[in-house]
């Protein structure tokens, strides 16, 4: 009976597990699938060339290869990479930090699991503290990261309508409740799934709230600044002692290396290192080894600014155009794409749920992600959450265009 309950806890309600299972099934299917779901980055030729060359350089350096492959890293991660990263951030932004302010994890998902359970959950005095997501929809990967149930509380956004198709979410500060039970604030920037980039003013306001309540502001920068810089609007990076900035090598083009980067005050970094030691002895060396010289020379930032960001900006504009061509009179809206590599497509008053639309698309060989997964911590049964799809445009042009055409066909049928 206990084993049965354990299985239910980690399978029955786990959105990310179901999503990953569906994506794995689709990838292994005998039928050709159009993969517009998942978070795999595009294999951009210029980036792939750099990564292959860096890997080749390591292979030619016997001592370095032996160290990367043959030695455990310290619990906080490869020191040379952490130092190069600290030097880069100090040089570029004037942040007062060193390697003691940086910890590596086996992917940023691991870091979120650590942080959410470090700050949130039951307290020694019998209380319970939660993580505030001030803007929903938010990243699906947060939803099941709490050891304790009911760890998250989130707030509906205000909606700015920009034209007949585009709109934008904003933090609704007038209704944002930061109670005594809030242990930390967390936002992704750009936001996964919507491509929203919180404005500098919104970020400064959230940072001020965090300082006033003496709680951390956790910023998920997996797609953002300073790298991979998949941002199509103005956005200044920020960090101080109350901010925990999470970066990643994944969206630059290295998801298989599973390298998350936590930039925080020394106390938090030491806690992350301790949790690494308990959970996995040490984080992996390979991602840090490949990216070390890229951090030292600033190539990490240059690639984002000159290659990765412009690539996805162009793809976003093309995909918007393909939707405009395909949708015709079918009602739809799209969140203004300001970053990441997804379009968040809203079908107002959709007669079926986005989960059913997802199932119909899957039957047609198109994999997207239904919107209801992206509202962790929202208690209100907001209809909007069942009217949206997340569509990735990180695949080749012909794949994305064919997928968009099929999405339009199935949406049209749903409204008939």
pLDDT tens-digit series, residues 33-72: 999 998 899 999 999 999 999 999 999 999 999 999 999 9
With cut-offs at 50, 70 and 90, classify the pLDDT of residue 6.
very low
Residue 26: predicted pLDDT: 65
**pLDDT higher at 10 or 101:** 101
Question: What angle (nearest 5°) sits at the alpha carbon of residue 106, between those of residues 38 and 341?
Answer: 30
Please give the model's pTM, rounded to 2 decimal places. 0.93
Question: Picking from 35-39, 274-278, 302-306, 323-327, which range would have the lowest pLDDT averaged per residue?
Answer: 35-39
With cut-offs at 50, 70 and 90, classify the pLDDT of residue 32.
confident
Nearest to 249 by CA among 195, 289, 307: 289
Domains, the chain, ordered by start: 2-46+303-415 (3.90.1150.10), 72-297 (3.40.640.10)
Is 132:153 a contact under the CB 8 Å cutoff? yes
Please, what is the average pLDDT of the chain? Answer: 93
Q: Is the peptide bond between 226 and the residue preceding it cis, with omega within 30 degrees of 0?
A: yes
With cut-offs at 50, 70 and 90, classify the pLDDT of residue 23.
low
Residue 148: partners with Cβ closer than 8 Å, 6 or more residues away: 117, 120, 121, 122, 128
Is 335:378 a contact under the CB 8 Å cutoff? no
Instruction: Report the percentage of the chain scoring pLDDT > 70.
Output: 93
What is the C-alpha to C-alpha distance for residues 103 and 117, in angstroms, rounded to an integer?
17
With cut-offs at 50, 70 and 90, classify the pLDDT of residue 31.
confident
| pLDDT value at 206 more than 90 | yes
CA gyration radius for the chain? Answer: 21
């Amino acid at each position: 009976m206990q084993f049965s309950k354990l299985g239910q806890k980690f399978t029955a309600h786990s959105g990310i597990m179901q999503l990953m299972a569906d994506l794995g099934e689709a990838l292994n299917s005998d039928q050709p699938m159009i993969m517009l779901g998942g978070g795999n980055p595009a294999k951009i030729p210029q980036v792939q060339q750099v990564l292959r060359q860096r890997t080749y350089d390591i292979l030619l350096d016997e001592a370095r290869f032996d160290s990367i492959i043959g030695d455990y890293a310290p619990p906080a991660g490869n020191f040379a990479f952490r130092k190069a990263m600290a030097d880069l951030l100090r040089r570029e932004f004037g942040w007062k930090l060193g390697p003691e302010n940086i910890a590596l994890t086996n992917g940023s998902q691991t870091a979120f699991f650590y942080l959410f359970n470090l700050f949130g959950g039951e307290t020694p005095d019998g209380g319970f503290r939660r993580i505030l997501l001030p803007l929903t929809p938010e990243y699906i990967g947060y939803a099941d990261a709490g050891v304790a149930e009911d760890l998250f509380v989130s707030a509906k956004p205000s909606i700015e309508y920009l034209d007949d198709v585009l709109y934008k979410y904003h933090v609704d500060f007038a209704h944002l409740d930061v109670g005594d039970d809030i242990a930390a604030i967390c936002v992704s920037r750009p936001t996964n799934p919507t491509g929203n980039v919180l404005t500098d003013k919104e970020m400064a306001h959230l940072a001020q709230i965090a300082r006033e309540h003496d709680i951390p502001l956790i910023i998920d920068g997996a797609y953002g600044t300073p790298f991979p810089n998949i941002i199509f609007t103005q956005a200044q990076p920020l960090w101080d002692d109350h901010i925990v900035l999470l970066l990643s090598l994944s969206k630059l083009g290295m998801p298989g290396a599973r390298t998350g980067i936590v930039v925080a005050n020394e106390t938090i970094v030491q806690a992350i290192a301790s949790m690494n030691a308990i959970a996995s002895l040490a984080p992996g060396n390979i991602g840090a080894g490949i990216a070390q010289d890229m951090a030292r020379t600033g190539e990490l930032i240059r690639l984002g600014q000159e290659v990765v960001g412009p690539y996805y900006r162009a793809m976003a504009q093309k995909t918007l155009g393909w939707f405009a061509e395909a949708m015709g009179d079918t009602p739809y809206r799209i969140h203004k794409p300001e970053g990441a590599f997804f379009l968040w497509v809203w079908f107002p008053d959709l007669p079926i749920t986005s989960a059913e639309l997802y199932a119909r698309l899957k039957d047609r060989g198109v994999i997207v992600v239904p919107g209801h997964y992206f509202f962790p911590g929202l208690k209100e049964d907001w209809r909007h959450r069942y009217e949206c799809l997340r569509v990735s445009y990180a695949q080749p042009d012909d794949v994305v265009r064919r997928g968009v055409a099929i999405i339009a066909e199935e949406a049209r049928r749903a409204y008939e």
